Amino acid sequence: MLHKLGFEKESVYDELRQCIRNSPQFRFDWFLKSRTAMELQRRCNTLITLIERENMELEEREKAEKKKKGPRSQSSAQKRKGEGTPDQRGGRRKKLKL
C-alpha cells in the first residue's frame, strides 16, 4: 500500500492510516487500526530496511557462487599433483602394495 501512496510524500503515513481504517481488509484488526501515523512510519521503515538487507545478502551469495564456479579450469597435471597429499605429520603418504 505504501508504494501506491508514494513513499516520498510528507503525509504518506497519515494517508496510510486512513486507508487502513477504511479498508474492509483490516475491518477486525484493531491493533493495526489503532496505530498512529508515527508508529506506522517506524514499522514501515523497519520492514523496508530488513528487506534491503535480505536482498543484499542474496546478491552477495550469488556473487560468491559465481566466483566459485569461475576457477574450474585446472589442468589434469595440476590435479595429479594434489593426489599425494601430505598426512598429519607433514610427510607424504605411501601407497600400500598388497
Place of cell 607424504: 92
Instruction: Express each pLDDT in 10-57 by its tens digit.
Output: 889 999 999 999 999 988 988 889 999 999 999 999 999 999 999 999
Instruction: Express each pLDDT in 49-81 by its tens digit.
Output: 999 999 999 999 999 998 888 765 555 555 555
Is 74 within a domain?
no
For 27, 35, 56, 58, 97, the CA distances from 51, given in Å and listed in that order, are 27, 22, 9, 11, 60
CATH number of the domain that residue 8 is part of: 1.10.10.60
Q: How far apart are CA 29 and CA 13, in angstroms?
A: 18
Whole-model pTM?
0.58
Tell me how far the alpha carbon of residue 50 is from its chain's centroid: 9
Domain count of the fold of the chain: 1
Q: Give the range of the structural domain holding residue 47, as residue numbers without chain letter.
A: 2-67
Q: How far apart are CA 40 and CA 16, in angstroms?
A: 8
